[in-house]
Amino acid sequence: MNKNQHGFGSTQIVMIVAAIGVIGGVGWYVLKGGDGKGVQVSNTSETAQSTTTQTQTSNASLQNEKLTTKTTDTVQDINALIVKGDYLKLQPYMADSVAITKQSANATAILSKADADSIINEYLAKTDVSNGAQLPWDFEGQDVTRSTINRSRGAISGFTTQGHIGISHDNAVIAYKLDANQKIDAVYMSYSASLIE
C-alpha cells in the first residue's frame, strides 16, 4: 500500500461512530433531563393564553358574584318596603318607565316611575276608598297559592320565573321584575290570588 494513499481506515471509522454515539447519548440524556422524566418544555403562548383564560373566568365569576349579591340586596330592600306597606318609597328602585298591570283592570300601562309608584300605593294601600292589601306581605310561604300562580297562563305568568312575588295576609298579590340595571321595570297587582287565571 502506498504511504500517500488517502482514505479512512477501520480504526478511524470506529472512532467516528463512537463519537457520534457519545454525542447522541449525551443529547438524549440532556433531553430527558438527566432523571428519565424529560425536560419540561413550556410553550409561552399556550401558558399566556391559559393564564388569560383563567383570569377572564375568574373576573366573570367575580362579576356574577357581585351581581348576585347586588340583586339579593336589592330584592331584600324592595321586599322589606313592600312588607311594611311603604309603597311610596319604591321609586328609587324603579326604572324610568315601568309597566304596571292591574288584574282588576286586565290592562297594562307604561308609566313614569313617579306615576307607577303612586298607582302601586293607590292600589295596595288600605284606605277608605281602596280595598288595598292587608299587611304583612309574604315573599316566601303560602305554597298552595304560589303553586296556583306558577300554573297561571295570564298576565302574571311572565313574572313567575324572573319576578318576585308577594302575597298579602288577605291574599292580594304583587309581583315585580328587575331589569339589567337591577331596577323594577314591571309590576303586577291583584286584589286576590283566587282571581288569577
Give the Cβ contact number of residue 13 at 10 Å. 10
Tens-digit pLDDT profile for residues 16-71: 877 888 887 777 676 776 555 555 555 556 666 666 666 666 655 555 454 455 67
Give domain limits for the chain.
62-195
> Residue 184 in contact with residue 94, Cβ under 8 Å?
yes
Phi, psi (degrees; rounded to nearest 5) at 51: -65, -40
Residue with cell 337591577: 182
Residues of the chain with pLDDT under 50: 64, 66-67
| DSSP state, residue 134 | P
| CATH 3.10.450.50 given to domain 62-195 | yes
